[in-house]
Amino acid sequence: MIALISIAAFAQKKPAPASSRADERTRGLFVKKSADAMRILVLKMEESQLVPVAPNHEFRENDEIKVQFESNFDGFIYLINVSPGGKRLILYPNAELTDNVVRTNQKYDFPPGGNVIQFDKEKGTEVIQVIMSRERIAYLDEAVKNGGDLGESAAGAAAEIQAGLATENVTKVIPEDTGVRTRDIKFAAGKDKEQEGSVVAISDNKGKLGKGDVGVYEIRLKHN
């Protein structure tokens, strides 16, 4: 960003918008490890290069992306895909990628290696739901053994759903009778071409995930 600074004697710097200050605080929770938090980058292939894009970027058929994660705590991550038609499937872990452990300050690409996610002809909003926890989630681990199919969502990811990063009104994938508790989280959204990406952080329970706690958010990718 290029800032033009006035040299007028009495020029005053304008205060940052409240939303910017809130984003800075959320990013600070990640950096200082004062709350369990995760950094996410959506990377789009452009001219053979992976370039950061904002989560609300609008994608087209055959666009290729990766999603990169970095955690500030040791734990586990689960990725669930909710198709525009409402089908729920565990993307990670799976039969080939069984180790979904995340370690502090390490970056993880999904899919790993030279693989990418490619958008097909089904238009709408593709949802990647992210579940972060300090311990394994037995319900999801059992589902992985059976192919990862979690059935249909009554509320599917309709075409008009707002793209971007969402922490509220996320698709429910873990039944209440499993004893898993979903904690409140806050987020700071990433922007196009910026490497700092988005950050999500636990905002209640002193910012830490306890036994049986999960943080859940969705990356909603608009596909036109």
What is the Cα–Cα distance from 49 to 12, expressed in whole angstroms?
A: 41
Torsion of CA 161, 166, 167, 171, to 10 degrees: 40
Domain coordinates in residue numbering, the chain: 18-223
Contact 186, 201 (CB under 8 A): yes
List the one residue out of 3, 10, 73 whose CA is nearest residue 38: 73
pTM listed for this prediction: 0.84
Per-residue pLDDT tens, the chain, 224 aa: give them.
Answer: 334 433 343 445 555 555 688 889 999 999 999 999 999 999 999 998 999 999 889 999 999 999 999 999 999 999 999 887 788 999 999 888 888 999 999 999 999 888 999 988 888 888 899 999 999 999 999 999 999 999 887 655 454 578 888 888 888 889 888 989 999 999 998 888 888 899 999 998 889 999 999 999 999 998 88
- Six-digit token string for 132: 């972060």
